[in-house]
């Protein structure tokens, strides 16, 4: 069986697979959701560091002998 015969034999299945884009859409949504989750995690980390620094400053201010 030559390559041409094989290509002609598999052409209907190949066309059907090329027309099905459900996997591409799922991959696109996964990338978008993953990017949003990563950005949210970085944002929470930055806010958490700022709150922690503020808490340390207030704690030192309240525990100081002379305000």
Using one digit for the tens of pLDDT, what is the confidence trace for 28-38? 999 999 999 99
CA distances to 18, 23, 38, 39, 64 from 33, rounded to whole Å, are 25, 15, 9, 10, 46
Q: What's the full length of the chain, in residues? A: 67
Give yes or no for residue 5 having a pLDDT over 70: no
Q: How far apart are CA 61 and CA 67, in angstroms?
A: 7
pLDDT reported for residue 7: 63
**What separation, in Å, do the N-terminal and C-terminal C-alpha atoms of the chain show?**
91
Using 50, 70 and 90 to split pLDDT, how confident is the model at 67? low
What letter would DSSP give residue 65? S
Using 50, 70 and 90 to split pLDDT, how confident is the model at 4? low
Please give the distance of CA 36 from its chain centroid, rounded to a whole number.
6
């Amino acid at each position: 069986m030559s390559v041409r015969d094989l290509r002609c034999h598999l052409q209907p299945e190949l066309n059907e697979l090329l027309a099905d884009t459900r996997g591409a859409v799922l991959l696109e949504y996964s990338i978008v959701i993953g990017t949003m989750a990563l950005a949210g995690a970085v944002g929470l980390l930055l806010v958490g560091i700022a709150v922690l620094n503020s808490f340390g400053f207030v704690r030192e201010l309240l525990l100081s002998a002379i305000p």
